[in-house]
Amino acid sequence: MYSKNFPDHIQKLVPYVPGKPIEETKREFGLKSVVKLASNENPLGSSPKAIKAIKKGLSELHRYPDASAFALKSALAKFLGRKREELLIGNGSNDVIDLIIRCFCKPGEAIITTDAAFVAYEVCAQVQGVRTLKARLDENLVPDSDAIVKLVRDNPDAKLVFLANPNNPTGTYLPNSDLLKLVKRIKEAREGMIVVLDYAYWEYVTAQDLTPPEKLYPAFDHVVLLRTFSKIYGLAGLRIGYAVGHPSIFAMIERARQPFNSNSLALIAAEAALQDRAFVKKAFSLNVRERKAWEKKLEGWKVPFYPSQGNFLLVNAKIGFGMSGVELFNHCLREGVILRPVANYGLHDLLRISIGTRSENEKAWKAFDRLKRKSK
């Protein structure tokens, strides 16, 4: 009865749908064993150093967290070779995305991103009554730089460009020369336009022609870099992320940031995880090894996939199995394997698979094997 009181942009909002939970899948299908390869989580769990720090911090839960995140910012500043003033801490990088859009855009204005970009950009924009303009991808699902620049030139009410590199859910990326040219062209096309580059999956990158984030800021003061502790550090459940950018940008955003937007356990866990290089190395090595194993299996089944720089692969369910991504997702659910359909990105024939441990991957391989045998 109250829905008519909400603004039109809220009534039309399609909320973000997370990966299906393990316990829900067990209940729904009466399964005892389920593996989740849907949400690009670290299959090794969380950084041991982070867990140790969390246990130590439990006795202080009656205290409010440090609203300035001084200790974490100091650790990040040392780790990245930056100043504390060049850092913004958030309740996951989603919180930072929301903050940036809320501070830069007025209702009725716009952001620019690409087709099949991380859905949070559009969701956070629509909550603020801000439009999302999307540039096309090429046949390899790589962003079209010319299309992005054209949107910048043709839409004076657009204030931000969001680009994940590598992108989720495609795993594709713009290589060094193309990305650097694009950043320069955007500045030439519109003075004051901020480019937000999402490097959530940077720690998994193996490509030699993908620009390291430190080469983009401070070389370009109109660039803001997004980073997260949810992926390789294994702290997705704590919701902690950050951005790197010019102090004048963050000084304004800090005015709008909710006090205590990051909880105390997340802050101390992230600080400890930064020092856990052994865990990061182990997670990286597992991802490289198991992603190659997945690629070999998919090639054997003649299932097309897109080369990925993340901890996931995007496969073509239509060509590989003769069904839509949602249909393949539903088949695998009954086998106790949770994958991720990407129809909400307009990719109806495709399905995203997070890279798991060998035992998790083998369970998925058995499900695919049985489906392939049935189709013969």
Model confidence pLDDT, tens digit, residues 27-61: 988 999 999 999 999 999 999 999 999 999 999 99
**CA neighbor of 88 nearest in space, from 296, 261, 230:** 261
Domain count, the chain: 2
CA 211 – CA 207 distance, rounded (Å):
9
Give the phi and the psi of residue 67 in degrees, each rounded to 5.
Answer: -65, -25
pLDDT tier, 223 (very low <50, low <70, confident <90, very high otherwise): very high
Q: What is the structure's pLDDT at 376?
A: 61
| Domain-terminating residue out of 250, 276, 302 | 276
CA 361 – CA 367 distance, rounded (Å):
10
Residues 7 and 147 in one domain: no
**Containing domain of residue 173, as a range?**
48-276
Task: State the virtual CA torsion across 329, 332, 336, 338 in degrees, nearest 10.
Answer: -30
Q: What stretches of 205-326 adopt beta strand conformation (E)? A: 223-228, 241-244, 305-306, 312-316
Q: What is the structure's pLDDT at 1?
A: 66
CB atoms within 10 A of CB 321: 21
Report the CATH number at residue 168: 3.40.640.10
CA 227 – CA 241 distance, rounded (Å):
6
| Domain-terminating residue out of 231, 250, 276 | 276
CA 150 – CA 306 distance, rounded (Å):
27
Residues 258 and 285 in one domain: no
Q: Report whether pLDDT(274) > 80.
A: yes
| Domain-terminating residue out of 276, 306, 339 | 276
Residues 271 and 284 in one domain: no
Residues 196 and 292 in one domain: no
Average pLDDT over residues 119-131: 96
SS3 at position 30: coil
> Which strands make up the sheet holding 340-341, listed edge to edge?
305-306, 312-316, 350-354, 340-341
CA 234 – CA 48 distance, rounded (Å):
10
Q: Residue 372 belongs to what H/E stretch?
A: helix 358-375
CA 47 – CA 40 distance, rounded (Å):
16
Report the CATH number at residue 338: 3.90.1150.10
Supply the mean pLDDT for the chain: 95
CA 45 – CA 367 distance, rounded (Å):
24
Q: Report whether pLDDT(336) > 90.
A: yes
Q: What is the pTM of this model?
A: 0.94
CB 321 within 8 A of CB 303: yes
